[in-house]
Chains A and B, each alone.
Chain A
Amino acid sequence: MNALVRQTLAGLRVLLVLTAITGVLYPAAVWGVSRLPGLHANAEAVDTTLVAVPREGDRWFVPRPSAATLPASGGSNKGERNTDYDAVVAERRTEVARREGVTEDRVPQDAVTASASGLDPLISTAYADLQVPRVARANGLGEDRVRELVAEHAEGRWSGAPDVNVTALNRAIDTEG
């Protein structure tokens, strides 16, 4: 018992010292370095396009559905055999088709499924293309111009086809309009 108490007291002192090093000095050093120009904007998410939130109205491209409750992030956690969720997905498909004036079979998968973070900044080029006519009309822009903007904001090829950053794209629309 005595040995356990002795080891525990030593443990307490070691833990306090290591707290000062790894819990205060280390994050302070990382924070300090992240103030450097070139890192600072990333560190503070200045004008960030890493996340997407939906914007009200027909003038904007719509990101993927979100199961997050801001300011927190999160996904739906619904399994693929969840029939209640099938109905939610079907409802989303109908809604997207109605909004964009297309048939339901043209609605891509990313338009009806929630991402893991609920903040996915990307949509597929198929989903972006689907939204071009509506966005062009609502902003009084030519469809060709909007298509150019979509192409300018395509990024990332890990999912096979290039995806489009909705947040950056909508800000470009802001500048145009």
Chain B
Amino acid sequence: MSSTGAGLLQVGVLLVALAVVHRPFGDYMARVYTSAEHTGVERAVYRVAGVDPDSEQRWSAYALGVLGFSFVGVVLLYVVQRAQSLLPWDFGRGNVPPAVAFNTAVSFVTNTNWQSYVPETVMGHSVQLIGLTVQNFVSAAVGMAVAVALVRGFTRHRTDRLGNFWVDLTRGVLRILLPVAFLFAIVLVATGVVMSLKSGVDVDGRTVALAPVASQEAIKELGTNGGGVLNANSAHPFENPNAWSNLIEVFLLLVIPVSLTRTFGTLVGDRRQGYVLLGVMGVLWSAVLTVIWAAEAHGLRPLEGKELRFGVPGSALFANSTTATSTGAVNSAHDSFTGLGGGGALLNMLFGEMTPGGVGTGLYSILVMAVIAVFLAGLMVGRTPEYLGKKLGRREVTAAAVSILAMPTVLLLGAGVAAVLPSTRGALNNPGAHGLSEILYAYASASNNNGSAFAGLTATGDWFQASLGVCMALGRFVPVIAVLALAGSLAAQQKAPVTAGTLPTTGPLFGTLLTGSIVLVAALTFVPALALGPIAEALQ
């Protein structure tokens, strides 16, 4: 079979699997977040935590829950890393230095999983397990909780209550992420992924590092986290041993964001509302995949930074899916991609991570963009815009705009300052336009909580550690607060009746409008920066 044929077959298998799974899984998730029952384990969690699972919160209390939980997450993860030498399985790797520990703590709590350290020599197994694996679960569940709260804003009327953050968080972890991750961790071991507490294994006289990979690998993809247990991430044969494990990992990182569109349609009582979002995501995902695949197939050095067992198609499929979902795991070195191929990966992030985006974050980001799209359409015809029976007034549009603008603001400020700092020159791994692309990519990755990198950039200097950490935090929490505020003001409204003047938000017209809005916002914001980086490279 030709390389292209094999690649198309993989894409076909992936799409069929997602098509089969997204309905039952999406409906299951809808039941998880609406069920009135608590399981025994959940009751125990609420008892220990001292929270009343049956009392609902206003948007502000919900947001404080997210912030408080994330804050203790950063502190605890920082402390665990700084005290590594006291923990078992540290293999003499010592305490993690402060700047690395800060950056990593923010990175994993914000679901970014940007890595400024080499795991094999810096992180012991204890930190991987009780620190990083835990945040892989809970940061993903936080994203899903915020998305569900926003959906409740649309489905509820004349109430100031959005649900209970602790219940949504706990259910996301225990009912969705944990069982699926456990199942697939075992499946991954069966394909060859390692699960060892030893520090390394002798291979023909050389030591190659080992780690408890499988348990974190499964949630790393499922929760669109992306932080590699080993430095080469999913390019490492111990994390991703063959074409089958590769396909499983790509499936895992897409399955929740894709299925959540079904959850959304089910919760708002009109499945077509979910399908139109899925259609928009699918169109943009396919378009960028085509660009990356074609560009990489025609590169000057197509195999540089790629593994033979994946080839160009398996690498392009993974690169497109990991950047379109805010995962950031990599099975090839994006830094060695062509101008256009690496530019495609960058573009996925600049869309704002909604094609289909991260778990939860993808859904709430595209819903915010839908609000903007409906607002733009309303301006054109001069009517008060409505979406899903809610009027979009000044409060709602302001919240949506704040949510949309946070990412480009911190991205361009950070990248702009980095580009003029003298110390940055020494941090670059490639000269010319590609050097600028390395900087742009880093800030796009951090601000969008993606976590993949043009990894040649040496991001261990104080400026990069600190500024990328701040970009990750603002890129995560400013939109979260804005989205919850939007949800609060939507829930307070009564349902607006559908009239002849209401823009239908289910058909191809709205799909086109939404696609156009995503592309237009990204283009207006980023074309100048892209022209100096990836576009200049591609034209060389």
Q: Which residues of A contact B (CB under 8 A)?
A: 3-4, 7-19, 21-24, 26-27, 29-31, 33-34, 38-39, 42-45, 48, 50-53, 55, 64, 68, 70-84, 89, 109-110, 113-124, 156-160, 163, 167, 170
Contact = CB atoms under 8 A, between A and B. Distances in A.
A77 B452 CA distance: 13
Nearest to B64: A7
B311 A159 contact: yes
B137 A18 contact: yes
Contact of B200 (A22, A71, A81): A71
B178 A21 contact: yes
B455 A75 contact: yes
Contacts, number: 321
Contacts of B138: 15, 18, 22
A80 B45 contact: no
Contacts of B375: none
Nearest to A110: B303
A17 B49 contact: yes
A45 B239 CA distance: 12
Given A123-B308, A124-B308, A118 B232 contact: yes
Interface of B: 1-3, 6-7, 10, 44-45, 48-51, 60-61, 64-65, 67-73, 76, 118-121, 129-131, 133-134, 136-138, 166, 169-170, 173-174, 178, 181-182, 185-186, 189-198, 200-201, 203-210, 212, 214-216, 219, 230-232, 235-238, 241-243, 299-314, 330-333, 335-339, 342, 429-434, 454-456, 537, 540
Given A23-B133, A158-B6, A77 B305 contact: yes
A31 to B, nearest CB: 6
Contacts of A117: 232, 235-237, 307
Nearest to B41: A21
A78 B430 contact: yes
Given A3-B61, A82-B434, A109-B303, A122 B308 contact: yes
Contacts of B178: 21-22, 26
Nearest to B333: A75
Contact of A115 (B68, B131, B215, B306): B306
A116 B305 contact: yes
Contacts of B303: 109-110, 113, 115
Of the listed residues A30, A44, A51, the one surrounded by the most CB atoms of chain B closer than 10 A to its CB is: A30
Nearest to B335: A77
A30 B186 contact: yes
A77 B454 contact: yes
Contact of A8 (B50, B71, B243, B314): B71
Contacts of A163: 308-309
A31 B196 CA distance: 7
Contact of A113 (B64, B190, B304): B304
